Amino acid sequence: MHSLPKLFCFDMDGTLTRIASSWEYLSRRLGIWDGNAEHHLTAFIEGKIDYMEFCRLDAMVLKGLPSKSVYEAIAGIEIDSGVESLVKHLRERGVKLALISSGLSILADRVMQVARFDYVFANELEVSGGMMTGGVKVNVSIDDPNMTKKAIVSRIAASIGLGSSEIAAVGDNWGDHGMIEEAATKFFVNRLQDETDRAMSVFEDIIIVNNMDDIRRYYS
């Protein structure tokens, strides 16, 4: 059996689920993607707006919608069937667990119903009186150096006195590279071949997996 880390950090969208972005999934399910939320993502990718503005604009298109419809849409996202057993295996052996996602906290709450994490960071849509307010609290950013996944992993590790040799991390796209860089044991979920190839070109020691069951077997 491979040596266990003392801290294991997980991405969520595309890693613990098969959908790449809970933001995009929600917008598509609610019919506000084409010609609307789609433009916000394009503007961010092209560098016309920063990540904070992208989140603000994406949250604004939800303003006035019943929160029930948002939660029902998110409920349709399938969670990797191996998450529960992997988290249980690690937790029973004293490993601290962190879920760090630039996705939505309402999906993180669903994941937490399946598997408990010690630390959870995700972006929160604001709700009042059963309606979406159009507000958002950004806890994980792509471009703010104080709120990137890399920065969050570093703070967690420092708070419990761990070095990179005691950390493992798993992600599925370029946005996870900073988090993975902080870990000695690096896993990457093979969802998109271009992303996998990119990770392999950046990290010589990356371990490619198909799902959470593969990680469970790695530590068995």
55 within some domain: no
Q: How confident is the model at residue 176 (pLDDT cuts 50, 70, 90)?
A: very high
- Helices vs. strands in the chain: H and E counts, helices first: 10, 7
Question: Residue 164: which domain range?
Answer: 7-23+75-218
What's the pLDDT score for residue 214?
98
Residue 14's CATH number: 3.40.50.1000
Average pLDDT over residues 135-153: 96
Residue 64 has phi, psi (to 5 degrees) of 90, -5
Our count of domains for the chain comes to 1
Tokens found for residue 194: 């271009």
Percent of the chain, pLDDT > 90?
85
Over residues 91-95, mean pLDDT? 97
Mean pLDDT score of the chain: 94
**Would you say the C-alpha torsion 101, 104, 109, 113 has a positive or negative sign?**
negative
pLDDT tens profile 26-54: 888 888 777 777 788 788 888 999 999 98
| pLDDT bucket at 78, cuts 50 / 70 / 90 | very high
Least Cα distance to 58 among 137, 147, 134, 144 occurs for: 134
Q: Tell me what pLDDT residue 156 has.
A: 98
| pLDDT of amino acid 18 | 87
Whole-number pLDDT of residue 46: 87
pLDDT digits (tens, 9 = 90+) for 116-142: 999 999 999 999 999 999 999 999 999
pLDDT at 24: 86
Q: Is residue 69 part of a domain?
A: no
The answer to whether residue 1 is domain-embedded is: no
The values of phi and psi at residue 31, to 5°, are 75, 25
Distances in whole angstroms, Cα of residue 115 to Cα of each of 5, 16, 27, 44: 18, 11, 26, 32
* pLDDT band, residue 74 (cuts 50/70/90): very high
Q: What is the band of 93 on the pLDDT scale with cuts at 50, 70, 90?
A: very high
Q: Is residue 181 part of a domain?
A: yes
CA distance 10 to 117: 10
pLDDT recorded at residue 211: 97
- Residue 44 falls within a domain, yes or no? no
Q: Does a structural domain hold residue 107?
A: yes
Q: Is residue 28 part of a domain?
A: no
| Residue 151, in any domain of the structure | yes
Res 31: pLDDT: 83
